[in-house]
A and B are shown apart, each in its own frame.
Chain A
Amino acid sequence: MRITVTVNGDETTHEVEDRTLLVHYLRDVLGLTGTNVGCDTTSCGACTVLLDGESIKSCTVLAAQADGRSVTTIEGLGSAEEMHPMQKAFQQHHGLQCGFCTPGMVMASVSLLRENPKPSEEDVRAGLEGNICRCTGYHNIVKAVLAAAEDGGAK
């Protein structure tokens, strides 16, 4: 089937197999490999992107379901030269080590602050429950999100 998805502001149109998952559309068709796949069971959140501004796990959404809609991936959030406040906060507070969960974690955090711009530590921990990190013990991720909230990360 033919789908049209706006990805990071650019309109993309491609022929895809019906069963194509959104994450595979992003990675294999568009070459946006920042979004990762970490599990088979919608448990880890490494594939989290924004669909019409809200975080979703792109391994559990068909590419076809994104037809006519807008997707933001880590590549669309900020650049190395001009990072988004959430990306800056993750660097400043060492909220990443191997980096594999990071794109999903950052997108989930951006979405979290949009819903709740002034979260408590408990809110952040509960809000990121769907994103697994094996390296950081979450300590610095939580710190980064709280700092970003102070610093306008909700935009």
Chain B
Amino acid sequence: MSILGTRVVRSEDPKLLTAGGTYADDLREPALNGALYATYVRSPMAHARITGIDVSAALESPGVVAVYTGADCDLDPAPPAPEGALGGKPHPSMARPFLAKDVVRFVGEPVALVLTEKRAQGEDAIELVAVDYDPLPAVIDLDDALSGTNLVFPEAGSNVVGVGGADAADAQFADCEAVVTATLENQRVAAAPLEVRSAAAAWGDDGRVTVWLSTQNAQGARDALQGALGLDEGKVRIITPDVGGGFGAKIGIDPEGTALAWASKRVGRPLRWTESRTENMLAMTHGRAQRHKITIGGDRDGRVKAYRIEVVQDLGAYPGVASFLPALTMLMASGVYDIASVTSQATIVVTNKMVVAAYRGAGRPEATAAIERAMDLFAAEVGMDPADVRRKNFIKPDAFPYTTPGGAMYDTGEYEKALDAVLESAGYAQLREEQARRRAAGETLQLGLGLSTYVEITAPDFSVGEDAKVEVHDDGTATIYTGSSPHGQGHLTAFGMLVQDKLGIPLEKIKLVHGDTDQVPKGGGTMGSRSLQLGGSAVYRAAEDVLEKGRKLAAELIEIDEGDLVLDKEAGRFHVAGQTGTGVSWGELAAAAREQGGLAADCHFAEDLPTFPFGTHLAVAEVDVETGQSRLLRHITVDDAGTILNPVLTEGQRHGGIAQGAAQALFEVMYYDPDGNPQTANFADYAIPAASELPSFELLSQETPTTLNPLGAKGIGEAGTIGSTPAVQNAVVDAVAHLGVRHIDMPTTPQRVWQAINEG
């Protein structure tokens, strides 16, 4: 029986459970002996001119070896990210320096770097770096940013970096019987991986630098660092140790990592850096940070005919990855619905807050949040159940492949099937009855049901593809080399299962190599739910090639036709059909192949198009109408991501995704006061949920394979978050809908819910 599709527990776990992972701060490499510790001095001001920096007292502090400021750092600033899919180009002055020069533009921006013999000495010494700041007006609120009264970059003449999409005049609402308009906040949140950012750097005598980096894509980090340091190809090696979560915010290398490599060369010693949680909250890229103006219109029978979304993306202080997020939001604007007129527009704008980049879903959760809230607003307007309105507007199963008005080509979908499965499993009708009972009785704890029927795009970088190599060794073991880079997803188990299935080499004899640019020079990393469909497919195809090579070699060794050979997958051995005694094992084949360069195969796999997983989430929430406190009671989902390789892993991804989405809906916001001071810069203030605040989740299975890769798999890493965020928000609104409430922005804190009830 094939191992594919079965419940296999992770090979990664025994070490993680008994010794702990080896994260960057855990490294005890000889190359890092005698390393100094780097500690950054960070701006306490949202926007200010630096009028002087005095490092003399810090230099006198015990253990201080060097203090570097922007004036010392001769690296050219990284050029600002291009405008994405929008018109306009960022002004060259918007390039982000590695250490601030002249002006600081957000609280937490690195201003100086202190190198000390011991870590604690760095924390003492940064207090002694005296920086004089001349405050400038901070641009915090989005309306202020758009008005341009104060500018983040005066040379640019505007805070608006780009505008794209269709004008309002193109939207067709004229023949709609009902039209609803709303402004929705998709708030700024922190990725908050449990492992903060961490790195180490050491230069060799050959002018080559090795950087150990907690990253999601070593190869991308290598290219960026090479460029920043002005080094020739081959002069940077990135090694990725175990990574304690990323969620999009560890894509590439941050300025602190680049400055670390630069400073290591300058001081002539290896360096280590691990930030504090507060630094992480201030200066690791944030996510979301969009404001939506939505208009939805249709007939009173529930048919939606027109939808428009206008996005304002807060980029933070420097245009980065967030410049690209609205393009994905616009692409996925119409979700699972067949709507005749769909128009979208986006404006990207700088503010004096931390830079925004990818966060679990990156542009797609924002699209889903908007359309799913819009569907509920429309349902309320025409007086229909949200499930019925959705059903009436789904793209039908026979319409695939389906091209949306936004230009996305959905591969496969069974939207109504997913909805029906969830409604039935949840007991939707009974829940509505219970809701009606509580409403009639005027109970304090009201029940809310929130739906989200979603579709998302995975492997949006399908054409970039992924690289893999599978090599069999003469001891009968195998090594998989992959350009995809796990940080909790379980690549060793997933990819190992693929190799076991093809070659009959058992999982426990398979090793995975990733994230080391010397051993795996080409790769795209792990992001955008791309790993299994691109990386896994590459591994699978490489294993197929190894199988053919092995068969050919076995035939030569046994002196028989290839067609007469059988691979016994239980024994990991080729033998002559009908004669198990005459055969050759993988180890023997690898030994025999040694002189021809070993038994291995490479594969680069790319998809012709991205894939579009979909599903339905139903959240059941309880709201205390006296205090405004909400609680998620149940969460029932179908997340159809095509063929499932290992249900253990996909369920884990769904659980984590659901929790992160629920967290955005109910609890989390990276909040800045009007002067740009972050108010949620640690885990005491930032409301990351605990086990006590979430229920167990009810997962249903559904598999609609894609034809775009040999595994039939779509991505599952981000679907949970995309589906759950609006479902949970809708549930909270629904719980108090009978009190005249139509909308509550995220996070639906007790204060906001209470206010909405009182204004309702």
A interface residues (Cβ-Cβ under 8 A, vs B) = 17, 19, 27-28, 31, 33-41, 43-44, 46, 74-75, 77-80, 83, 87, 90-92, 94, 96-103, 106, 121, 124-126, 128-143
Min CB–CB distance B686 → chain A (angstroms): 9
Give bound CA distance, A92 to B17, whole Å.
12
CA distance A130 to B691 in the complex (A): 9
A100–B195 CA distance with the chains assembled, in angstroms: 6
Q: Verify if B169 is at the interface (C-beta below 8 Å from A).
A: no
Produce 1/0 per residue, B10-30, CB < 8 A to A: 101111111111110110100
Choose among B16, B649, B691 the residue that contacts A99 (Cβ–Cβ < 8 A): B16
Report if B425 contacts A (CB, 8 A).
no
- The verdict on A100 contacting B244 (CB below 8 Å), with A80-B15, A128-B690, A139-B696 known, is yes
Q: How far apart sit A121 and B13, CA to CA, in the bound complex (Å)?
A: 24
Of the residues B195, B657, B697, contact of A98 by C-beta under 8 Å = B195
Residue numbers in A under 8 Å from B688 (CB-CB): 132, 134
| Cα A103 to Cα B194 with chains together (Å) | 12
How far is it, in angstroms, between the C-alpha of A31 and the C-alpha of B688 when the chains are bound?
30
Decide yes or no: A83 and B691 within 8 Å by CB, A99-B244, A140-B655 being known contacts. Answer: no
Query: With A19-B120, A132-B690 given, is the CB distance from A36 to B244 under 8 Å?
Result: yes
Minimum CB–CB distance from B491 to chain A (whole Å) comes to: 11
On chain A, the residues within 8 Å of B694 by CB distance are 125, 137-139
Across the interface, do B692 and A41 meet the contact criterion of CB distance under 8 Å? no
User: Assuming A128-B690, A134-B245, A140-B652, is B16 touching A33 (CB within 8 A)?
Assistant: no
B552 interfacial contact with A, CB 8 Å: no
C-alpha spacing A77/B14, complex, angstroms: 12
Contact A94 B658 (CB under 8 A): no
Q: Across the interface, do B192 and A134 meet the contact criterion of CB distance under 8 Å?
A: yes
Asked if A97 and B683 make an inter-chain contact with CB atoms under 8 angstroms apart, the answer reads no
Q: Is the CB of A74 within 8 A of B682?
A: no
* Chain B 684-719: CB-based contact to A (< 8 A → 1; otherwise 0): 100010111010110000000000000000000000
23 contacts between A and B (CB under 8 A): A37-B25, A46-B194, A75-B20, A78-B17, A87-B17, A97-B245, A97-B489, A97-B652, A97-B656, A99-B17, A99-B21, A125-B690, A126-B692, A129-B691, A131-B690, A134-B193, A134-B245, A134-B247, A135-B194, A135-B488, A136-B655, A140-B652, A142-B696
- Complex alpha-carbon distance, A72 and B165, angstroms: 59
Question: Are A137's CB and B659's CB within 8 A?
Answer: yes
Contact with A75, one of B18, B244, B683, B697 (Cβ below 8 angstroms) = B18
In contact, A99 and B14 (Cβ under 8 angstroms):
no
Nearest chain B CB to A43 CB, angstrom units: 4
Apart from A126-B692, A138-B691, A139-B697: 17 A-B pairs, beta carbons within 8 A = A33-B20, A33-B25, A34-B20, A35-B20, A36-B20, A36-B244, A74-B19, A75-B20, A98-B488, A99-B488, A128-B691, A132-B683, A132-B688, A135-B194, A138-B694, A140-B651, A142-B696
Residues of chain B within 8 A (CB-CB) of A141 are 691
Chain A residue nearest to B22 in the complex (CB): A33
**CB neighbours of A138 from chain B (8 A):** 655, 659, 690-691, 694
CB neighbours of A41 from chain B (8 A): 277, 682-684
Residues of A within 8 A of B531 (CB): none
B242 at the interface (CB under 8 A from A): yes
Closest residue of chain B to A121 (Cβ to Cβ) is: B696
Residue of A nearest to B647 (CB): A94
Tell me how far the C-beta of A107 lies from the nearest C-beta in chain B, rounded to whole angstroms.
11
Q: Is the CB of A40 within 8 A of B245?
A: no
A83 touches B658 (CB 8 A): no
Contacts of B489 in A (CB 8 A): 97
Contact B9 A134 (CB under 8 A): no
Mark contacts of B241-265 with chain A using CB atoms, 8 A cut-off: 1 yes-contact digit, 0 otherwise.
0111101000000000000000000
Instruction: Enumerate chain B interface residues (CB-CB to A < 8 A).
Output: 9-10, 12-23, 25-26, 28, 119-120, 192-196, 242-245, 247, 276-278, 487-490, 648-649, 651-652, 655-660, 682-684, 688, 690-692, 694, 696-697, 720
Please list the 8 inter-chain residue pairs (A to B) with the smallest Cβ-Cβ separation, ordered nearest first. Answer: A137-B659, A34-B20, A100-B244, A98-B488, A97-B488, A43-B683, A99-B16, A33-B26
> At the interface, is chain A mostly helix, strand, loop or mixed?
loop
Q: Which residue of A lies closest to B648 (CB)?
A: A94
CB distance from B495 to the nearest CB of A (A): 16
Which residues on the A side are within 8 Å of B691 (C-beta)? 124-126, 128-129, 131, 133, 138, 141-142
Contact among A36, A91, A130 with B10 in the assembled complex (CB-CB below 8 Å): A91
A100 touches B19 (CB 8 A): no
B690 partner residues in chain A, CB cutoff 8 A: 125, 128-132, 138
Instruction: For A130, list chain B residues within 8 Å (CB).
Output: 690
Residue of B18, B490, B649, B656 with most partner-chain A CB within 10 A: B18
Chain A residues with Cβ below 8 Å from B19 are 34, 74-75, 80
Question: Which residues of the other chain, A, contact B12 by a CB distance below 8 angstroms?
Answer: 99
| A40, B20: Cα distance in complex, Å | 20
Q: Which of A43, A100, A135 contacts B21 (CB 8 A)?
A: A100
| Minimum CB distance partner of A133 in chain B | B194
User: Closest CB-CB distance, A85 to chain B, in whole Å?
Assistant: 12
- Nearest-neighbour CB distance to chain A for B229, whole angstroms, equals 29
Q: Which residue of A lies closest to B657 (CB)?
A: A137
Most buried by B among A98, A135, A142: A98
* Also in contact, A80 and B684, with CB within 8 A (given A138-B659, A139-B697): no
In this complex, the member of A80, A99, A124 whose beta carbon has the largest number of chain B beta carbons within 10 angstroms is A99
Docked pose: A43 CA to B14 CA in angstroms: 26
Closest residue on chain B to residue A80 by CB atoms: B14
Per the bound structure, the CA–CA distance linking A142 and B10 in Å amounts to 18
Among candidates B14, B194, B692, residue contacting A83 with C-beta atoms closer than 8 Å: B14
CA distance A110 to B10 in the complex (A): 21
Which residues of B lie under 8 Å from residue A124 when comparing CB positions?
691
Judge whether B655 and A139 touch: CB under 8 Å.
Answer: yes
- A38, A91, A143: the one contacting B194 at CB < 8 Å is A38
Smallest beta-carbon distance B683→chain A, Å: 4
Contacting residues, chain A, for B247 (C-beta < 8 A): 134
Query: With the chains together, A121 CA to B692 CA distance in Å?
Result: 10
Query: What is the chain A residue whose CB lies nearest that of B11?
Result: A91
Give the distance to chain B from A132, nearest Cβ to Cβ, in Å: 6
Cα–Cα, bound, A142→B690 (Å)? 12
Q: Are A125 and B682 in contact (CB under 8 A)?
A: no
Looking at the complex, which one of A19, A39, A77 makes contact with B18 (CB distance below 8 Å)? A77
Partner of B682, one of A19, A39, A98, A106: A39
Question: When the two chains form their complex, are residues B20 and A99 in contact, meaning their CB atoms are under 8 A apart?
Answer: yes
Is the beta-carbon distance between A43 and B652 smaller than 8 angstroms? no
Contact of B22 with A125 in the complex, beta carbons under 8 Å: no
Query: Given A80-B18, A102-B16, A139-B696, are A43 and B684 also a contact pair (CB < 8 Å)?
Result: yes
- Does A94 contact B651, Cβ atoms closer than 8 Å? yes
Please indicate which of the listed interface residues B13, B22, B658, B720 has the most CB atoms of chain A within 10 Å of its own CB: B13
- Looking across the interface, which residue of chain A has its beta carbon closest to that of B653? A97
**Distance between B636 CB and nearest chain A CB, rounded to angstroms:** 13
Known: A43-B682, A139-B697. A99 touches B18 (CB 8 A): no
Most buried by B among A44, A128, A137: A137
For A135, list chain B residues within 8 Å (CB): 194, 245, 488, 652, 656
Shortest C-beta distance, B439 to chain A (Å), equals 27
